[in-house]
């Protein structure tokens, strides 16, 4: 039980929705109000001058809580002080709740506005294809590489290793950004990978000081994560140039924009893949909020099995629906398999980035996009998916004909 000030006797009552009142002895002073931990564990109220109250309710929604204070003073002086502190506390709670709601509303607006802008811009880039799409992928790879090396240099990761010097990370970022362009120009990923790996290793070996293996390992993983894997999106969108003759949208597509030949298997596969990933993230978020009970993994405690199942369901549904509209893939089995593959790739990419951020001790990889974080926070679900989708369309479908 908390220590009670001998000059004043105080009590507080909390009402949670339809629950009854709980009278709790508390210790009241100009700086803090402390509740007994055994009675309300996880709840801490602290008054911060001037007239501000911090209310911590980790397991109770703030809107469902109402705080009232009743003071039983032992003297008139104590009564006036207690009443003043009580009014400050109540006003502080109201102010804090209003500020919290306004902040959440502002974050939600930013998230929706920038999310729609990114979605429309990405849709136009995917439809354009060619060099427009490739340059966009290269720019995203460059920014993602910069964020990746900032995570590597963070206190949580750098405490156990030696990160690459900044000038080496800048050189690597440029190399990673050039890899998608080289892939489009040469038509093969192996040329860009081997040449890029040689340049990265050379930059690390020729640096000042003593090169460390940890620097090489982090740079090579960055080469794989931020350079090699994004190249598969270029291969998927621009490499699969066979016309999707069964797609009805191609018949009404303007000739000035490429006509029916513009609708290739690569374009259709990219649109279905991106749409199914968005559906997976949306369904997983909604399903996890509504039904999430069982943790999925320790890497990301907020993810649940129920949310993952909802995301898988939404991913398959969108893949099947778009396959019927775009007439690719041609069978229900292949469309469902494509949806499962997209979900597995998106979930794995999300968990990998969560693991990096957890070790780095940060919430977001950056602050480039208001309400969304950094580029890696938005593109983590797409990193591994491009390689899986390209392999499915290039190898599995022709091999098994499903």
What's the whole-number mean pLDDT along residues 371-393?
A: 92
Cα–Cα dist 311/299, whole Å: 18
* pTM to 2 decimal places: 0.75
Which of the 8 DSSP states describes residue 227?
Answer: I
What's the whole-number mean pLDDT along residues 166-176?
A: 91
Residue 65 has pLDDT above 50, yes or no: no
**Helix pair angle (265-291, 305-326), 10° resolution:** 150
Residue 218 has pLDDT above 60, yes or no: yes
Who contacts 224 (Cβ-Cβ below 8 Å, separation ≥6)? none
Tokens of 309: 């199942």
What pLDDT sits at residue 377? 93
**Is the model more confident about 192 or about 326?**
326
What's the whole-number mean pLDDT along residues 107-136?
A: 86
* Helix, strand and coil in the chain, % to nearest 5: 65, 10, 25
CA atoms within 13 A on the CB side of 48: 9
Residue 193 has pLDDT above 60, yes or no: yes
Q: What would you report as the CA-atom Rg of the chain, rounded to the nearest whole angstrom?
A: 28
Q: Domains of the chain: which residue ranges?
A: 9-101, 128-236, 240-402
What pLDDT sits at residue 357? 93
Assess contact for 143 and 375: CB atoms under 8 A.
yes
Of the spans 78-82, 145-149, 394-398, which averages the highest pLDDT?
145-149
Residue 120's CB is within 10 A of a number of other CB atoms, namely 10
Residue 190 has phi, psi (to 5 degrees) of: -60, -35
**Which of these ranges, 24-38, 173-187, 255-269, 385-399, has the smallest mean pLDDT?**
24-38
Of the pLDDT bands very low, low, confident and very high (cuts 50, 70, 90), residue 32 is: very low
**267-279 pLDDT per residue, tens:** 999 999 999 999 9
CA atoms within 13 A on the CB side of 102: 6
What pLDDT sits at residue 100? 62
What pLDDT sits at residue 160? 72
Assess contact for 199 and 175: CB atoms under 8 A.
yes
Assess contact for 335 and 345: CB atoms under 8 A.
no
What pLDDT sits at residue 310? 96
What pLDDT sits at residue 8? 41
**279-289 pLDDT per residue, tens:** 999 999 999 99
Tokens of 315: 């991913």
What's the whole-number mean pLDDT along residues 81-92?
A: 52
From residue 337, give the alpha-carbon distance in Å to each of 103, 130, 320, 332: 41, 27, 10, 9
What pLDDT sits at residue 158? 81
Residue 29 has pLDDT above 90, yes or no: no
**Is the model more confident about 91 or about 72?**
91
What pLDDT sits at residue 1? 40
Who contacts 296 (Cβ-Cβ below 8 Å, separation ≥6)? 303, 304, 305, 307, 308
Residue 230's CB is within 10 A of a number of other CB atoms, namely 25
The fraction of the chain above a pLDDT of 90, given in percent, is 48
What is the pairing mode between strands 52-56 and 21-25? Answer: unpaired
Average pLDDT, the chain: 79
Cα–Cα dist 310/298, whole Å: 19
Residue 293 has pLDDT above 80, yes or no: yes
Taking Cα atoms as reference points, which of 219, 177, 141 lies closest to residue 379? Answer: 141
What pLDDT sits at residue 275? 95
What pLDDT sits at residue 168? 87
**304-320 pLDDT per residue, tens:** 999 999 999 999 999 99
Exposure string of 40-64, with b = 16+ CB inside 10 Å and e = fewer, is eeebbbebeeeebbebeeeebeeee
Assess contact for 287 and 310: CB atoms under 8 A.
yes
């Amino acid at each position: 039980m908390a220590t009670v000030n001998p000059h004043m006797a105080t009590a507080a009552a909390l009402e949670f929705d339809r629950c009854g009142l709980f009278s709790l002895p508390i210790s009241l002073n100009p700086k803090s109000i402390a509740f007994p931990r055994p009675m309300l564990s996880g709840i801490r109220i602290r008054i911060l001058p001037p007239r501000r109250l911090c209310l911590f309710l980790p397991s109770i929604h703030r809107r469902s809580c109402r705080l009232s204070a009743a003071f039983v003073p032992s003297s008139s002086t104590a009564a006036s002080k207690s009443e003043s502190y009580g009014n400050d506390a109540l006003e502080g709670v109201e102010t804090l709740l209003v500020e919290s709601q306004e902040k959440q509303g502002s974050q939600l607006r930013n998230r929706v506005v920038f999310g729609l802008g990114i979605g429309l811009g990405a849709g136009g880039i995917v439809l354009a294809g060619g060099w427009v799409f490739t340059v966009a992928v290269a720019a995203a790879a460059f920014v993602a590489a910069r964020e990746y090396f900032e995570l590597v240099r963070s206190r949580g990761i750098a405490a156990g290793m030696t990160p690459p010097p900044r000038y080496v990370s800048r050189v690597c970022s440029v190399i990673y950004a050039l890899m998608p362009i080289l892939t489009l120009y040469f038509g093969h990923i192996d040329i860009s990978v081997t040449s890029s790996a040689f340049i990265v290793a050379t930059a690390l070996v020729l640096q000042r000081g003593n090169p460390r293996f940890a620097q090489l390992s982090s740079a090579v993983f960055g080469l794989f994560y931020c350079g090699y894997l994004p190249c598969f999106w270029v291969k998927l969108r621009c490499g699969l140039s066979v016309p999707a003759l069964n797609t009805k949208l191609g018949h009404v597509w303007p000739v000035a924009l490429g006509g029916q030949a513009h609708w290739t298997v690569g374009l259709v596969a990219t649109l279905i893949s991106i749409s199914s990933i968005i559906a997976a993230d949306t369904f997983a978020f909604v399903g996890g909020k509504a039904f999430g009970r069982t943790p999925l993994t320790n890497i990301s405690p907020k993810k649940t099995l129920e949310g993952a199942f909802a995301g898988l369901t939404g991913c398959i549904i969108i893949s099947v629906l778009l396959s019927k509209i775009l007439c690719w893939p041609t069978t229900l089995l292949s469309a469902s398999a494509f949806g499962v593959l997209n979900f597995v790739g998106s979930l794995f990419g999300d968990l990998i980035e969560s693991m990096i951020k957890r070790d780095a001790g940060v919430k977001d990889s950056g602050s480039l996009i208001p309400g969304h974080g950094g580029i890696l926070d938005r593109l983590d679900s797409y990193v591994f998916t491009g390689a899986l989708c390209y392999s499915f369309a290039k190898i599995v479908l022709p091999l098994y004909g499903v």
